[in-house]
Chains A and B, each alone.
Chain A
Amino acid sequence: SQELEQSPQSLIVQEGKNLTINCTSSKTLYGLYWYKQKYGEGLIFLMMLQKGGEEKSHEKITAKLDEKKQQSSLHITASQPSHAGIYLCGADIYAGGTSYGKLTFGQGTILTVHP
């Protein structure tokens, strides 16, 4: 099975500070997803990465997938209270080049942003 390790488990930052969340896989990642969740609510899709070395940005959030496709990072620039929540990385299980649509998630990173 695909195991994902996220770090840190929790993060408290002052508004305006930059931060990075990491997601490390025990196996090669063929589809790596980043989601944000407010407690008790649904997951909000942020970004999907598939290619080694790929980098995507949306507003102040940038996600990268390393060349070996075993580690991804999520970077938030100039954090705001609206960025607070639980960030989850998810990996898609592939077999024979085909996705089964099965996402396995890391344990999540709880982000708190103080005004």
Chain B
Amino acid sequence: DTEVTQTPKHLVMGMTNKKSLKCEQHMGHRAMYWYKQKAKKPPELMFVYSYEKLSINESVPSRFSPECPNSSLLNLHLHALQPEDSALYLCASSPQLGYEQYFGPGTRLTVT
């Protein structure tokens, strides 16, 4: 089973809202990732967690706050977003760093 699940599938939020994206995998993977993908562009890495510790933050604005409560779960907390943050947010996991990454279906976020 190589499934990564993401909820919600779609999210519309105002600029003053607080919301969270959730990602889950039950493959025993110890690395998890958040990517942002704008239309007609490739995914861009935001955060990397390895063994539940943040290992990479690609200079992401503080209005995006990642959290890894356990080895199976990855959250992305959103607060005071801007319309330009509207994008497809993809979660991925891999057995460890340096292994193939398996992606979830994504959350389509619209900021109004």
A contact residues vs B (CB 8 Å cutoff): 31, 33, 35, 40-45, 48, 88, 92, 94, 98-108
Contact partner of A101 (CB less than 8 A), chosen from B48, B102, B108, is B48
B contact residues vs A (CB 8 Å cutoff): 2, 4, 6, 31, 33, 41-43, 45, 48, 50, 55-56, 58, 88, 90, 92, 94, 97-106, 108
The answer to whether A41 and B100 touch across the interface, beta carbons within 8 angstroms, is: no
The answer to whether B98 and A43 touch across the interface, beta carbons within 8 angstroms, is: no
Residues of B within 8 A of A108 (CB): 42
Residues of B within 8 A of A104 (CB): 45
Interface residues of B, dominant DSSP: strand
The answer to whether A45 and B42 touch across the interface, beta carbons within 8 angstroms, is: no
Contact partner of B106 (CB less than 8 A), chosen from A42, A48, A98, is A42
Residues of A within 8 A of B102 (CB): 45
A105 nearest CB neighbor, chain B only: B42
The answer to whether B103 and A40 touch across the interface, beta carbons within 8 angstroms, is: no
B8 CB, nearest partner CB in chain A, Å: 14
Residues of A within 8 A of B92 (CB): 43
Residues of B within 8 A of A92 (CB): 98
The answer to whether B88 and A40 touch across the interface, beta carbons within 8 angstroms, is: yes
Q: A31-B98, A101-B31 are in contact. Are A42 and B104 (CB under 8 A)?
A: yes
